Chain A
Amino acid sequence: MKRSKTMELGVGLFMLAGILGLVFLGLRVSGMTLNASGDTFRLEANFANIGSLKPRARVTMAGVTVGRISAIELDTEWYDARVVMELDSDLEGELSRDTTAAILTAGLLGEQYVGLSVGGDPEMLADGDTIRDTQSAVVLEELIQQFVSNMVND
């Protein structure tokens, strides 16, 4: 039992590393955030078609990640998709009312995310507001279909 001190230390480190690894898998790999609420604010946007957008996808401005999608649900009033976004609280009151939200795709087959671009309206969006000007996801199949039918028509 002489070596048990170093042995215990080794086992302790081993278990700690395992737990840290699990945290890494949670935060870095599956993109969970520890501070889900707190220094963020909510914006909503309605899209006619979200394609394959998923909760926890990125929300970007000019390519910089500024937030995440927290929920996607069906809006039963208009029968379109309501996307709830959690954005950095730094941006609260900085986005103009005519900001547009578009669902973009990274590369041809990559993940889908929401891109925001600011307009020129002097009034700003506040917590819980809805973005009016949205652009739906580009669905590859529809594009191809259009392309093919155009060819046939020509």
Chain B
Amino acid sequence: MIGSLRRLGRFGCNALESLGRAGGFLLLSAFAVPSREGFGLWVRQMHFVGVLSLAIVLVSGLFIGMVLALQGYTILVEFGAEQALGQMVALSLLRELAPVVAALLFAGRAGSALTAEIGLMKATEQLSSMEMIGVDPLRRVVAPRLWAGFVALPLLTVGFSVVGIWGGYLVGVEWLGGFEGSYWGNMQSSVEFLDDVGNGMIKSMVFAVVVTWIAVFQGYDLIPTSEGISRATTRTVVYSSLAVLGLDFVLTAVMFGGLS
């Protein structure tokens, strides 16, 4: 009894301690003063986490939009409400699916790669040697990656939404023969730019911070062995997926659930 209480206490202390370390790490690196070549490093990382994730995000967005339209159409047609297809596709993408699915894909594609890359740099003593040369690795290695993630994911989310809505149009209008005017018209009259697009973007920015933070911290904090790297990579994907889904519920409750 006492033993299990102590284990619980130790678990709590460890969790708090690593959370504290992760928080300090985020502050130190995100607000590290950008160095002269900081912009170049950031561009490099933008290419790595943003441009190279574009393909998977866009293809997924297209398919999800198409599936939404297909499923939605067959249900809505039963109620004679197939005009509402555009509204349904756009709202579910903008508010929910694009931020969440793009963040999950981002965690799998870019997050795990960030963890592995930084972990490998740690294992091969590159981070230590950078410190010994007198360059702060938080500034040189971590900060550009963090900021690239912060910027890239919201942009990817926009791409996801656009492609998804277009995919819905392809299926709902071109293929199933819905009326084009009501697809766009219904959408336009029900989508509010600030409420729907704006809140979706806020969600996606929150996810961007959380996923990139987890990925980079896991890489920086791992045990520098091959086993440590593989574990940290797995942890990145698991933790960020859980964090994204959990936060999504909280954010949705605050934004659309009338809890504010």
Contacts and interface: CB of A to CB of B under 8 A. Distances in A.
A2 to B, nearest CB: 12
B165 A29 contact: yes
A6 to B, nearest CB: 9
A148 interface: no
A52 B159 CA distance: 31
A32 B155 contact: no
Q: Which of B87, B94, B152, B193 has the most A CB atoms < 10 Å from its CB? A: B193
Interface in B139-156: 151-152, 154-156
Given A25-B197, A110-B84, A31 B189 contact: yes
Contacts of B185: 58, 65, 106, 111, 113
Contacts of A29: 90, 94, 161, 165, 187-188, 191, 197
Interface size range on B against A:
35 or more
Nearest to A64: B181
A119 interface: no
A9 to B, nearest CB: 10
Contact of A14 (B50, B79, B189, B191): B50
B189 A54 contact: yes
A54 B44 CA distance: 45
B189 A113 contact: yes
Contact of B46 (A14, A17, A108, A112): A14
Interface string A120-146: 000000000000000000000000000
Contacts of B26: none
B78 to A, nearest CB: 12
A14 B51 CA distance: 6
Interface residues of A, number: 34
Interface string B76-97: 0001111110010010001000
Contacts of B84: 107, 109-111
Q: Which of B83, B161, B189 has the most A CB atoms < 10 Å from its CB? A: B189
Nearest to B165: A29
B40 interface: yes
Contact of B81 (A24, A30, A109): A109
Contact of B44 (A7, A17, A111): A7
A86 B187 CA distance: 19
Contacts of B156: 18
Interface string B182-200: 1011111111110011000
Given A25-B162, A29-B197, A107 B189 contact: no
Contacts of A110: 81, 83-84, 182, 186
B176 interface: no
Interface in A61-116: 65, 106-113
B100 interface: no
Given A25-B161, A108-B81, A111-B189, A14 B184 contact: no
A7 B45 CA distance: 10
Contacts of A8: 43
Given A25-B94, A26-B197, A56-B189, A109 B44 contact: no
Given A25-B162, A30-B193, A111-B84, 16 more contacts: A4-B43, A7-B44, A7-B47, A8-B43, A14-B51, A21-B155, A21-B158, A21-B159, A24-B162, A29-B165, A54-B189, A108-B80, A108-B81, A110-B84, A111-B185, A111-B189
Interface of A: 1, 4, 7-8, 10-11, 13-15, 17-18, 21-22, 24-26, 28-32, 54, 56-58, 65, 106-113
13 contacts: A14-B51, A15-B151, A18-B155, A21-B159, A22-B158, A22-B197, A25-B162, A25-B197, A26-B193, A28-B184, A31-B189, A106-B186, A108-B80
